[in-house]
Amino acid sequence: MTLAQVASKLIWINAATRPSQRVGCDMTKPVEIARDLRLDLYRGVALWLIFLAHIPGNIVSRFVPFHYGFSDAAEIFVFVSGYANAYVYGRVMQQCGFVTSAAHILNRAFHLYVAQMFLFVVFIGEIALLSHGTDMFADAMNVRIFRDQPDVATLAVLQLKFMPVNMDVLPVYIVLLLGCPLILWLLWRMPALGLAASVTLYALANVFDINLPAFPHGSWYFNPLAWQVLFVFGAWCGLGAADWLWSLIRWPIVLTIAAAYVLFGLLVVIAWHTPYLAPYVPNWLEPPLSKTNLGVMRLVHFLAIAVLVDRCIPAHWAPLTSWILRPVINCGQHSLEVFCFGVILAFAGYVAVVGAPSSATSQILVPVLGIVAMTALAALVTWYSTRKISFRAVASEGLVAHPSVHAEVGNVGSELRSRSSSAIGETS
């Protein structure tokens, strides 16, 4: 491929700010993406569950998934993110080429990186404010090293090596997005090779405990070299997977095995939390249930739940368009804003619960108010997104230094963004 051909492909499809033409990719037409509210629903549920899990010790957190099985909301988030990115950018890659699709994916990764840095600054400020000048939460939130060595810790933050408690989700997703262009290309061109490479990397990460280093010591809580297998599998499904997969997961025997495994996970977790049964739970279960390396039993547990949920919630499930599910779907459609807000709210809720540990009212009221606040933010962002106005410079006779602008609502770029957002929410 010549340099001129490469340059011709470096055209953004976001025509909302920069309309352009591209040979082989009609920029006047949006990329068509079928709507699937299930993805927004699943991501919204994951965000709510992550928020509840980040406020330990409250009554409502007893309803989060890890109390009833091996997997939890993190698996939902990573799988749906892989599915959504392939669902959107896979079609962009097919219609506009690899370079255009890769540019958008890397641009999204950069936005997430900026969000992580901004969230860190706000989070550190919140900890300092609610600690009232003391270091009472420094160890609990893993920020003492930032107070003791701010220069070195700041560099580690920029390198994604230092992550306070509850801030280790976005870095994993950023790393996964950096590899997403190659992942989509492999899954599109050679799906068997792409899946095999992902599974091989997952196996190596688990067998040899390969992980990325963290600061000041240790490694990442979510090992991206292991969690990528769930992201890649979600991306494969988002690209359409294979015909045999969709027919296989609907076989009665597969559904029965999936239900039996979910029940087995429930019984094991109940035994763990029962004092006279806990000693009988074998120790060899710990590595296969590792959250850091996405232990194989966790992975299979999530896939079993996914099979059952796919059976129970079809694409045209009527409640998806009802007002009852609208709050959680809105959260899923604006996942980055809601997640960041949830991290801030979770620490405030943690402080409130710690301050009144014996109050059942606070243990219920704090997480409920947090969910309400996250829902309100999602509703506000949804409302604002329908009021966006884009501008196009037009020629104006007699005005050279300050050309007039003409406000346009619903141009090609905004149509593209609205269609992709309504289909799967923000691909973050």
**DSSP assigned state of 92:** H
Cα 251 to Cα 135, 244, 262, 366, distances in angstroms: 56, 11, 17, 43
pLDDT band at 339 (very low <50, low <70, confident <90, very high): very high
For residues 53 and 73, give the distance between their C-alpha atoms in angstroms, rounded to a whole number: 9
pLDDT band at 12 (very low <50, low <70, confident <90, very high): very low
Q: Is the pLDDT of residue 25 over 70?
A: no
Q: According to the model, what pLDDT value does residue 27 have?
A: 58
Check residues 6 and 147 and name the one with the higher pLDDT: 147
The helix or strand, by DSSP H or E, that contains position 103, with its residue range, turns out to be helix 98-130
Phi-psi region of 24 (alpha: psi -120 to 50; beta: other; left: phi over 0): left
* Sign, CA torsion 201/205/206/207: positive
Burial of 316 (0-12, 13-18, 19+ CB in 10 A): exposed
Q: According to the model, what pLDDT value does residue 361 have?
A: 76
Q: Is the pLDDT of residue 406 over 60?
A: no
- Give pLDDT tens digits for 344-356: 999 999 998 887 7
What is the arithmetic mean of pLDDT over 313-319?
A: 91
Cα angle, residue 205 at apex, residues 202 and 209 outer, rounded to 5°: 155
Give the CB-side neighbour count of residue 91, counting CA atoms within 13 A. 16
Do 169 and 222 touch, CB atoms closer than 8 A? yes
Domain boundaries, the chain: 3-424
The helix or strand, by DSSP H or E, that contains position 227, with its residue range, turns out to be helix 224-238
**% of the chain at pLDDT higher than 90:** 63
- Give pLDDT tens digits for 52-68: 999 877 788 777 777 88
Closest CA to 92 of 112, 110, 107, 76: 107
Do 120 and 128 touch, CB atoms closer than 8 A? no
**Residues recorded for the chain:** 428
Q: According to the model, what pLDDT value does residue 358 have?
A: 65
Q: According to the model, what pLDDT value does residue 359 have?
A: 73
319 Cβ contact list (under 8 Å, min separation 6): 325
Q: Buried (b) or exposed (e) across 92-101, using 16+ Cβ within 10 A?
A: bbebbbbbbb
- Global pTM? 0.86
What is the arithmetic mean of pLDDT over 98-108?
A: 95
Q: Is the pLDDT of residue 17 over 60?
A: no
* Sign, CA torsion 69/74/80/82: negative
Q: According to the model, what pLDDT value does residue 416 have?
A: 43
84 Cβ contact list (under 8 Å, min separation 6): 39, 43, 238, 424, 425, 427
What is the arithmetic mean of pLDDT over 254-283?
A: 92
Q: According to the model, what pLDDT value does residue 360 have?
A: 75
Q: Is the pLDDT of residue 18 over 50?
A: no
Do 189 and 128 touch, CB atoms closer than 8 A? no
Q: According to the model, what pLDDT value does residue 38 have?
A: 95
Q: According to the model, what pLDDT value does residue 354 have?
A: 81
For residues 424 and 81, give the distance between their C-alpha atoms in angstroms, rounded to a whole number: 9
Do 75 and 381 touch, CB atoms closer than 8 A? no
The mean predicted confidence, pLDDT, of the chain is 85
411 Cβ contact list (under 8 Å, min separation 6): 15, 16, 19, 390, 392
Q: According to the model, what pLDDT value does residue 264 have?
A: 96
Q: Is the pLDDT of residue 297 over 60?
A: yes
pLDDT band at 26 (very low <50, low <70, confident <90, very high): low
**% of the chain at pLDDT higher than 70:** 84
Q: According to the model, what pLDDT value does residue 399 have?
A: 54
